[in-house]
Structures are given as C-alpha cells and as structure tokens.
A and B are shown apart, each in its own frame.
Chain A
Amino acid sequence: MTVTDSDSDLIRRAQADDLDAFCLLAERYARRIHLLAFHYCRNAQDAEDLSQDVWLKAYQAMRSFRSDSSFYTWLRRITINAFLNHRRSSLFRRNGQTTAVQLIQIDAETFEMPLESRSTSPENIYNKLLFENVVDALAELTPQQRLAFLLRHYEGMSYEEIAGAMNCSTGTVKKGVSRAIVKLRAKLSPDSDRPEALTNLANEYLGEY
C-alpha cells in the first residue's frame, strides 16, 4: 500500500471488502468527523461513540457510494443523519453512565478538553476558559440550531445545503445560525478576545491550584 493511494482507489478497494483500505479512508477523514461530533455532543466519550458509529454506518453503506459527490460530502451526509438520529435517541453518557437525558440539559461541566490541552500553562488555561464559554453558548442552543451553526461555520456549507441535509427550511437554518452567533457573541464579548483580559482570568484560575 502506498501513501499516494487516492480516495477513489481506496473507495474501490473498500467496496470490495478491503478492510485496510476502509481504515485508511477513516484515518484521512476521522478528525473532521470527530471534531464535528465533539462540538455537537460536547462530551469526549459521546463524540467518540458517535463518530465511530458514523464510520460503522459508512462501512455498511460503502457499496452504495456512487461517486456522484465527493467521499467527504457523502460521509458528512451520513454524519448529519447519525447526529439527528442520535439526538432523537437522546442517549448520552454522563459521568461514566449512559443516561437518557435531553441534549440541551447537558451543562458545560460534562465537557472535557482533550488530553493534550490539560496542561496548566496560562495559554492552555486561557483556551480552556474560552472553550468553556463557547460550550456554554452552544449548550443554550437546541441541537438543531447547534448543528446548523457547526455546518455553516465549521464546514462552510451553504444554507440551502444545510437545509437539504437536515430536512428543514432555509429560514430555519438561518434563524438557528443567527441565534447561535448571538449567543456566542454574548458569551465571547470582543473584550474576551483580548489576551490580557483572559490571561488575568487564567492567572486567577492557576492561583487556585
């Protein structure tokens, strides 16, 4: 297997039940899918479960991929459907237990920063505080609004694409994105972006330890 294997080669081999080829495809796109899941669930364990569920669904549906769109577009569609189905089932793990709760009821305390960010440097503390603010803002949105914002802002999808993928109107998507931005803006005021303001906060945070 060469590094220069193109997506189409890997897809063709994966469709022929080549597990290695499928895993290579997963390695290429897993970070983007995981990132979306992470921001959607705001919980590391749920994000992993959800993103791996996406890959299992993709493996089962691999033969149905017809190359009408890019592989990532097809994969993102599966991801969105998995997110929406996951929202319907509303099964989220909290404190190591699987509990049926509403996504909107999860507060920022369940959210965990990735392991690499858990150092105590001022920069990381600063990022952690910022990140918690973002999570707080996203937690105040409905799952649909949150997904609309993530797809618009992180994935760069148009409103029409999002509406088609989420099976709702363009107006609903616009409203969701707009509301998300308002919430984020309230949590992350322009002053918060100034390093000195949050650095002071981070130093206070460090002083507690």
Chain B
Amino acid sequence: MHDCTETKEQITEFVLDGADRRPDEALLAELRACAACREEFNALNATLRVTTRLRDTAAPAESYWVGYHARLRQQVEDLAAASRAKAQRRKEKLAFSFASLRLCVRATVRVPVPVIALILAAFAVFAVLAARKPAVPSPVIVHVPVATPVVQEKPVEKILTRVVYRDRRSPARTSKRVADPSNVESTFAKSQKPNAEIPAALLGFKPTDEVKLTIIKGGSQNEK
C-alpha cells in the first residue's frame, strides 16, 4: 500500500544523501507509480541543487583571502604575544616570590646592640619562666563530697492473731463443765500461772498491750 507521507520522508533522505546513496529500488518504484511523490522528489532535488550551487558561488574572491589570512595571522600573533606575555608575567611573579624568600633567608639586617641585648634578655626571662612550669600539667584532684546513705530503723509492727473458738456444746454439758471446779478457771488465768507444761522457749514471753484481733468467718481461705 502506497503511503505518500512515508515516501516523502524517504525522498528527503535520498535527496540529502545525494550521490553518496545508491538509489533504492523500492523507492524508485514508488516514484514511478505516484505522480505526487515524483513531483515532490523533483522539487526537493531542485531546491537542494540550487542551494548547493549557491554555496559554491557564495565563496569570496581570491583577493579576499589574502586580506583574511593577513588579519588572521595578525590576530594569532597578537594572541601568541599575549600568551607569551602572560607566561612571562607568571614566571616573573614566581621568580619574585622566590627572590623574596631568598632575600628573607640571606638578609643581613643591622640592629643596635642594646636592642639585641634587650631582646636576648627578654628571651632568657621567658625561657626561665617557661622552664619553671611543669612540662606536663599534673592531674588536679577534686574532692567531691559524697552523701552516704543513712539507714533508719523503722519499728516493726508485730501482729498477733488470736483465734477464739466459741463453745457450741449444749448448756447441760456447759453447766456440767462449770460444775467441775477444775474447769472454772479461765484459759487466761491458766496462762498466768506458772505451768510446768509451758515450753522453756516461751517462758518470759509477754504479749504486747495492743492486740489486733482478726475474726475469720466462713470456710473460704480468702474470705475475711
């Protein structure tokens, strides 16, 4: 299928390449087949041929080149002279720096004797002062008071638990028990008496004045 747009792009390239490019058979076939493409080819070919011819005719005359090269030579000589001058200045600057340095090293300056003596004396004093100072600074010990922790003894609160059992027996038995004179004496009274049954480890034990009494109700362990 012939596409004029695509063929025109090929024509442009073909014309620009000129004689360097071998004619493409496919392109030639397209040109033979399509009058519009052929016309485009002729137009572009003619246009570029004209510009090429003008390029050649636009060259200046030979007399122009004599002056052109003379001016160019002059400019190049000026540039070379400027470059040489710049290099020379750089060299001179470098030489001046070296000369200044050499002058400083080799210079002989006349100085009055009293001034020299004064300078030497000042130097000696300074040297002595410097020698007095320790070369290495001694470490400085700084006493920092450290607060020692004070342990305060707190009174330990003792909790005594006394379990009181209520007697749930019948009154008859209770009265019988009361009748028994050996049972009339309370447990507290018994405890106040010296008893041979009290272990030796509990002898002299005196309960505190304040007694905390905890009554445990119910069967559960955690329920109070």
Interface positions of A (Cβ within 8 A of B): 17, 19, 22-23, 26-27, 30-31, 34-35, 38-39, 44, 48, 52, 55-56, 59-60, 113-117, 127, 130-131, 134, 152-154, 156, 177-178, 181, 184-185, 188-190, 192-193
A114 touches B61 (CB 8 A): yes
B12 touches A178 (CB 8 A): yes
The answer to the question of B59 belonging to the interface, with a C-beta cut-off of 8 Å to chain A, is yes
Interface positions of B (Cβ within 8 A of A): 12, 16, 20, 42-44, 46-52, 54-55, 57-61, 63-65, 68-69, 71-73, 75-77, 79-80, 83
Taking CB atoms, residues of chain A closer than 8 Å to B76 are 19, 22-23, 26, 55-56, 59
Taking CB atoms, residues of chain B closer than 8 Å to A117 are 57-58
CA distance A134 to B55 in the complex (A): 10
Between A and B, 18 residue pairs with Cβ closer than 8 Å are A19-B80, A23-B76, A26-B72, A26-B76, A31-B65, A44-B60, A55-B75, A134-B54, A152-B16, A177-B12, A181-B16, A181-B44, A184-B48, A185-B43, A188-B46, A188-B50, A188-B51, A192-B50
B69 touches A27 (CB 8 A): yes
Task: Output the least CB separation between A2 and chain B (Å).
Answer: 19
CA distance A185 to B41 in the complex (A): 11
Closest to A60 in B: B79
Task: Output the least CB separation between A9 and chain B (Å).
Answer: 19
Taking CB atoms, residues of chain B closer than 8 Å to A55 are 72, 75-76
Choice from A30, A38, A134 contacting B69 with Cβ under 8 Å: A30
Closest to A193 in B: B46
Taking CB atoms, residues of chain B closer than 8 Å to A56 are 75-76, 79
A134 touches B72 (CB 8 A): no
CA distance A22 to B77 in the complex (A): 11
Choice from B16, B20, B43 contacting A153 with Cβ under 8 Å: B16
Choice from A52, A116, A152, A184 contacting B72 with Cβ under 8 Å: A52
